């Protein structure tokens, strides 16, 4: 039994009404808790792409992948956890900042390469893009100033090789199970 860890799945799905519901319903039904889920169009007509981040061990991960494949509208699933991947998340953070504290807050933002996109008399809003860790780090430092509200998009991810996507998205890879059952 392997250890549970944070995993990132990329699922290509048909861009049809109700498909997101089918995917989330699967996770709910099998009692898996999604950390984050993002969905958007791809460059290919009729194909959407989901990035799903969640805690799972190796067995869970394999079953999640196999269960996703059982959904008729799912075209392809990649568990990117063991592959070189870039992942990014965007957050908007509203921080309490008056005339006195504003320079300190802005300095912190600069160190984290966050952009200040709105400034008011009492608070400012900064935007940061990066890994979940980097965003967590910024939030930790901003908390003492007073975080008024925050919104995060959840991660989007991409594998780092040229062929990662495969040549023919219409031909998904065989679901897992056969040869690696004992792995």
Partner 1 sequence: MTDPANRMRTGAQILWEALHREGVEVVFGYPGGAIMPAYDALLESPVKHVLVRHEQGAAHMADGYARASGKVGVAVATSGPGATNLVTGIATAMLDSVPIVCITGQVSSRVIGTDAFQETDITGVTLPITKHNYLVTHVDQIAPTIREAFYVARSGRPGPVLVDITKDAQQAKMEPVYSDAPVRLRGYRPDHRAPREDLARAAAMIDAAKRPVILAGHGIVKAEASALLAEFVAKTGIPVASTLLGLGGFPASHDLALGMMGMHGEAWVNKAIQEADLLVALGMRFDDRVTGNLETYAVNAKKIHCELDPAEINKNVRVDLALVGDVKDTLASLLTLTTKTVRHGWLDRIGSLKGDSAVRDIQQMPHDQDRLFAAHVMHDLWRITEGKALVVSDVGQHQMWEAQYYKHDYPRKLITSGGLGTMGFALPAAIGARFAMPDEEIWVVVGDGGFQMTACELSTAAQEGIKLNIAIINNGYLGMVRQWQQFFYDGRYSATPLRSPDFVKLAEAHGLTGLRVTKRDEVESVVAQARATPGVVVIDFRVEQEDSVYPMVPAGADLHDMIRRPSPIVETAADE
CA 144 vs. chain centroid, Å, equals: 27
The burial class, CB within 10 Å (0-12 / 13-18 / 19+), for 63 is middle
Tokens read off for 61: 């991960």
Site for partner 1 in 125-154 (CB under 8 A): none
In the complex with partner 1, the residue whose CB is nearer, 39 or 123, is 39
- One residue of 7, 52, 61, 62 binding partner 1 per CB under 8 A: 62
DSSP string, 10-58: EEEEE--TTHHHHHHHHHHHTTPPEEEEEEEE-SSTTEEEEEEEEEE-H
- One residue of 137, 146, 154, 172 binding partner 1 per CB under 8 A: 172
The burial class, CB within 10 Å (0-12 / 13-18 / 19+), for 8 is buried
Please identify, among the stretches 80-88, 98-106, 117-125, 168-176, the one whose residues bind partner 1 according to the rule CB under 8 A: 168-176
> Is 25 near partner 1 (CB under 8 A)?
yes
In the complex with partner 1, the residue whose CB is nearer, 15 or 89, is 15
> Is 50 near partner 1 (CB under 8 A)?
no
Footprint on this chain of partner 1 (rule: CB under 8 A):
13-14, 18, 21-22, 25, 29, 59, 62-63, 66-67, 69-76, 170, 172, 174-179, 181-182
């Amino acid at each position: 039994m392997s250890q549970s860890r944070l995993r990132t799945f990329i699922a290509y799905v048909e861009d049809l009404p109700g498909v997101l519901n089918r995917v989330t319903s699967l996770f709910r039904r099998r009692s898996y808790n999604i950390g984050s889920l993002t969905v958007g169009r791809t460059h290919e007509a009729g194909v959407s792409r989901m990035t799903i981040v969640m805690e799972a061990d190796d067995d869970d991960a394999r079953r999640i992948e196999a269960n996703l494949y059982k959904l008729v509208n799912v075209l392809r699933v990649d568990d990117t956890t063991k592959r070189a991947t870039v992942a990014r998340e965007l957050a908007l953070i509203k921080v309490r900042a008056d005339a006195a504290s504003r320079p300190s807050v802005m300095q912190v933002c600069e160190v984290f390469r966050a952009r200040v996109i709105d400034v008011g008399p009492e608070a400012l809003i900064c935007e940061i893009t990066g890994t979940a860790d980097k965003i967590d780090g910024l939030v930790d430092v901003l908390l003492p100033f007073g975080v008024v509200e925050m919104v995060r998009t959840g991660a989007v991810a991409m594998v780092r090789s040229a062929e990662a996507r495969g040549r023919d998205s219409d031909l998904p890879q065989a679901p897992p199970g056969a040869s690696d059952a004992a792995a």
